[in-house]
A = this chain, B = another copy of it.
């Protein structure tokens, strides 16, 4: 967080405290202020019940898959309160600072990102435009795995994609880019298959989260794990911690 963002956060918390007629800013004010800053303010729209339900399945798909991947960041919040342009949100953050990501962790991230789409397919047997930005996130991770992180055997430990800009400008051939496309497709297919399989297998838990979401609209970390009947992860044991690195969160 920059200084300006921090100042904004303090202001928001003070405003919330003032609105509530409090003399002092409490931790709860800071927590709400942080949520508001991160997600945007809640929008005052009444969603059709069917939409709320579908949104609940979509977000529950993200959340459940996030909880099921070993070594993934804990799921902190799931909400079907519309905020800004989003109908819902699922938030995962690491237990502590992370310094690098291994292939399993990244595939877990892709599986989680595809969880909303997979849930809609499992429950409604339908794919919708609502997964557009989820696909963008999943594809971006997979392209970096293949083109920058050496995680495709077919491409090898070679940098193909520049951190920004056009790989053709660097002289990468169309044939190599086609191999990258194929490898990205392979990773995404594998992850999407796993997402659908896991949701089918854990359908009962998915329904549990949806029920809780429709009831409470927003679930905190303990509520999410309780709704899914999954034990909250302890601090990750040292011998399972994935990796080192200075790479920013993709």
- Among candidates B48, B174, B177, B241, residue contacting A48 with C-beta atoms closer than 8 Å: B241
Within 8 Å CB of A247, what residues of B?
128-130, 132
Do A55 and B129 have beta carbons less than 8 Å apart? Answer: no
Within 8 Å CB of A138, what residues of B?
157-159
Among A104, A160, A177, A245, which residue has the most Cβ atoms of chain B within 10 A?
A245
Within 8 Å CB of A50, what residues of B?
238-239, 241
Do A130 and B178 have beta carbons less than 8 Å apart? Answer: no
Let me know if A242 is at the binding interface, CB within 8 A.
Answer: yes
Let me know if A212 is at the binding interface, CB within 8 A.
Answer: no
A-to-B contact residues, CB < 8 Å: 45, 47-51, 54-55, 58, 85-88, 96-97, 99-104, 106, 114, 117, 120, 124, 126-132, 135-136, 138-140, 142-144, 147-151, 155-161, 165-178, 180-181, 184-185, 188-189, 192, 238-239, 241-247, 250
Supplied contacts A48-B96, A55-B99, A157-B192, 4 more A-B pairs, CB within 8 Å: A86-B246, A128-B245, A129-B243, A138-B157
Do A120 and B243 have beta carbons less than 8 Å apart? Answer: yes
Q: How far is the CB of A246 from chain B (nearest CB, A)?
A: 5
**Do A158 and B124 contact each other (CB < 8 Å), given the known contacts A172-B181, A247-B132?**
no
Within 8 Å CB of A129, what residues of B?
100-102, 106, 144, 149, 243, 245, 247, 250
Do A51 and B184 have beta carbons less than 8 Å apart? Answer: no
Within 8 Å CB of A136, what residues of B?
148, 159
Q: How far is the CB of A58 from chain B (nearest CB, A)?
A: 6
Within 8 Å CB of A49, what residues of B?
238
Within 8 Å CB of A188, what residues of B?
156-158
Q: Could you write out 26 A-B pairs with CB less than 8 Å apart?
A: A45-B97, A48-B238, A48-B241, A50-B241, A55-B99, A87-B246, A100-B129, A102-B128, A104-B126, A114-B157, A117-B157, A126-B242, A128-B247, A129-B149, A129-B250, A130-B245, A135-B157, A138-B157, A139-B158, A142-B158, A147-B171, A158-B185, A171-B177, A173-B180, A174-B175, A176-B178
